[in-house]
């Protein structure tokens, strides 16, 4: 996977608070994970159209989709400005719970 640089927005640089930059970085990470899932979904669709059996691709797609779900929950919790705690570990991904302060 390639590493992308993020240049903070002017809005994030003008405040004495780290939250805007953290929000931007969280959104960038979520968008990157979404791109991975989209690419794998396209490849999986091509394999299914050709009739290829690709169990490793199915497994990788499931893992990346689970990661996207976790990132989405973390991002949603951050947008709602509520802290997120890991409630339990479940196989491939963490299950998150939003904790009211």
Q: Please report which confidence band the pLDDT of residue 22 belongs to, taking 50, 70 and 90 as the band edges.
A: confident
Whether the predicted pLDDT of 25 surpasses 50: yes
End-to-end CA distance of the chain: 37
The residues spanned by each domain of the chain are: 10-98
CA distances from residue 72 to 16, 26, 46 in whole angstroms, order as listed? 26, 9, 26
**pLDDT tens, residue by residue, 42-95:** 999 999 888 886 788 989 999 999 999 999 988 888 778 755 454 544 444 444
- 99: nearest Cα among 91, 31, 43, 86: 86
Give the ranges where 1-101 is alpha helix by DSSP (H): 10-14, 19-50, 55-79
């Amino acid at each position: 996977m390639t590493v992308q640089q993020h240049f903070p927005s002017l809005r994030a640089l003008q405040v004495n608070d780290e939250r805007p930059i953290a929000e931007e970085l969280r959104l960038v990470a979520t968008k990157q994970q979404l791109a991975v899932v989209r690419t794998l979904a396209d490849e999986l669709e091509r394999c299914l159209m050709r009739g290829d059996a690709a169990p490793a691709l199915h497994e990788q797609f499931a893992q990346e989709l689970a990661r996207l779900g976790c990132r989405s929950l973390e991002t949603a919790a951050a947008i709602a400005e509520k802290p997120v705690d890991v409630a339990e570990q479940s196989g491939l991904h963490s299950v998150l719970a939003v904790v009211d302060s």
